Amino acid sequence: MKKIALIATLLVITGGMGFAQSLELYETVGGQDVRRQNGELLTKNVDTKEAFTFGMKVKNVNTGSLNVYCKKVYLLILQGSNNSFCWDVCYVPKVMVSTNPILMKSQEVVNRFDGTYDSYGYSGESRIRYVWFDGANPNDSVCVETKYLSRPMGVDEPTLTSGEMFASPNPAGNYVKLSWKPSGLPGKLILHDLLGNKILEIVMEDSAKEITLNTTDYPDGLYFCIFESEGQARVAKKLIIRH
């Protein structure tokens, strides 16, 4: 009976000890490293006009070396958005788990994670859980849940002198039809990307009322269509391209 009681006591003590995590997370905020608790919710405000990236440092607090992997888990995804992550190397959006681990020595801090999110012009919410785990024991893990809130921020279209522009369909796939008013003015139709790079420029006759553009070869993203006449931006339109 004493032996049985001793075994039972040891089981209770062992079970009560819980599971010790080998990894800790730190995010640099205002120049300071802030520790993030396991499962902590992080809210990121994202401009719909550009991609957003945040980093995370991972520390091995185990007494031995670990082969650490990273994975993402979708909790809520805004339709039309896209995301990817880097863990030593950068992966395409469809990759959910890093194929190669990072060998981390005891007490080593690794700053080789980036999570990138792009709403491609759409407003709304996405939630993604990022998990780091020991390859030899996947249950030995730590994670954060990231809530991306995308909305327009700042001035997103040039100041216009007059008129209005229409795009159909918008979002566009392989083509888009652009029309504007007032029509009948000679000028130029210009297409810019988010970085301000001029993608296309077409000289328009004064009788032109509309034009159809082939967008098959344009990368997915947000663009600005501008009709200029007499050196001034007369009308403009935000255009989303998604194939």
CATH code reported for the domain at 22-151: 2.60.40.3880
Q: 27-36, 81-90, 146-155, 166-175: lowest mean pLDDT where?
A: 146-155
For residue 139, what are its two tokens? 């249950």
pLDDT score for 134? 97
pLDDT digits over 3-46, tens only?
444 434 443 333 333 356 999 999 998 889 999 999 999 999 99
pLDDT at 149: 93
Residue with tokens 């520390």: 59
Would you say 114 and 84 are in contact if contact means Cβ atoms under 8 Å apart? Answer: no
Q: What is the structure's pLDDT at 160?
A: 42
CA dihedral (94, 97, 101, 105) positive or negative: positive
The answer to whether 114 and 53 have CB atoms below 8 angstroms apart is yes
Nearest to 180 by CA among 228, 215, 232: 228
Mean residue pLDDT across the chain: 84
Dist. CA 239–CA 155, nearest whole Å: 15
Give yes or no for residue 184 having a pLDDT over 80. no
Supply φ then ψ for residue 189, to 5 degrees. -100, 125
Residue 172, pLDDT above cutoff 70? yes
Q: How many CA atoms lie within 13 A of 166 on its CB side?
A: 9
Taking only the tens place, the pLDDT of each residue in 214-241 is 999 988 888 888 888 776 666 778 888 8
Q: What's the whole-model pTM score?
A: 0.60
Q: Region 112-116: what's the mean pLDDT? A: 94
Is 90 exceeded by the pLDDT of residue 146?
A: yes
pLDDT of residue 209: 77
Whether residue 171 has a cis bond before it, omega within 30° of 0: yes
| Structure confidence at residue 145 as a pLDDT band (50, 70, 90) | very high
Confidence of residue 207 (pLDDT cuts 50, 70, 90): low
pLDDT of residue 20: 63
CA within 13 Å, CB half, 148: 31
pLDDT over 90 (residue 144): yes
d(CA 187, CA 234): 9
Q: For residue 112, is pLDDT > 50?
A: yes
Q: What is the pLDDT of residues 37-82, one digit of tens each?
A: 999 999 999 988 888 999 999 999 999 999 999 999 999 999 889 9
pLDDT for res 155: 41
Examine the pLDDT at 101 and tell me if it is beyond 90: yes
Tokens of 31: 């120049």
> CA 10, 16, 22, 27: dihedral to nearest 10 degrees?
-170
Question: Average of pLDDT values for 92-116?
Answer: 96
Phi and psi dihedrals of 96, rounded to 5? -100, -25
Q: What is the pLDDT of residue 233?
A: 63
The two domains 22-151 and 164-241 share their CATH topology (first three levels equal): yes
Hey, what CATH topology would domain 164-241 get? Immunoglobulin-like (2.60.40)
The structural domains of the chain, with segments of one domain joined by +, span 22-151, 164-241
